[in-house]
Structure 1
Amino acid sequence: MRLSIVTPLTVVVEEAGVRAVRAEDASGSFGILPGHAGFLTALGLSVVSWTASDGARHHCAVRRGVLGVEQDGMKDGGHVSVATREAIRGDDLATLHATVLARFAADREDQRRERAEATRLELAAIRQIMRHLRQGAAGAGP
């Protein structure tokens, strides 16, 4: 099998001869072996793990994305591709869980705070416009 993990800016993983791939979506953890049927799923905060042709295990943390399996008619069993906004490769799973996924979660919290602040500013602007319109209507008279 071939495995590709790409972000908008770079190809993080491009590897042929992959024996197996594991990932997790909203329904739970799943595995993909050569010859797997076509498949498409959305990934959340997840770690994609794979076994290389030499038997070594590798991992890549992804923050949201789409995983697809397509049969390309090749002897190697197909192509597994992941398109994601952010991916960080690492061979030590403990490091990925402890640091990278924690950073993703912190980034998500920062984004939530930024959205809340933007909403607060929008509401303040609307209040100011409404105050201005009310003053204009009161001064116009009959």
Structure 2
Amino acid sequence: MEGMVVRRVIPSDNGCLFNAVGYVMDHDQKKAPELRQVIAATVASDPTKYSEAFLGKSNEEYCAWILDSEKWGGAIELSILADYYGREIAAYDIQTTRCDLYGQEKKYSERIMLIYDGLHYDALAVCGLIQFMSICYF
């Protein structure tokens, strides 16, 4: 797709990762509670994969932790959300200029983009050049 990539600012409310993903995937930037539930259910369903060694806390503790609206998400959550939506997630870190890809090994046919500044996630959208002011593709 041709066009310009534009930053869609997501409110800084400790749920920015989830709301940025929700904005790009579902055109809804109030998805944090629902996506936190998806993460907790996924982690709880596979305590072998999501062990204390992997999570840094017990499976049960992690599930309670991620449901707390004051807690932030990161790599574990982006990996789970890539599988949940069946799309690759590219998180561009503007401090390190690194791009972390989630779901890449699954060879999903679509990719969504997020921008990360070390503390906060925003969504990236591709806007058509000709209709830049009126149409943006998520």
Q: What range describes the TM-score normalised by the shorter chain of this pair? A: under 0.3
Which structure's residues are more often strand, by fraction?
A: 1
TM-score when scaled to structure 2? 0.24
TM-score when scaled to structure 1? 0.23
Q: Which has the larger radius of gyration?
A: 1
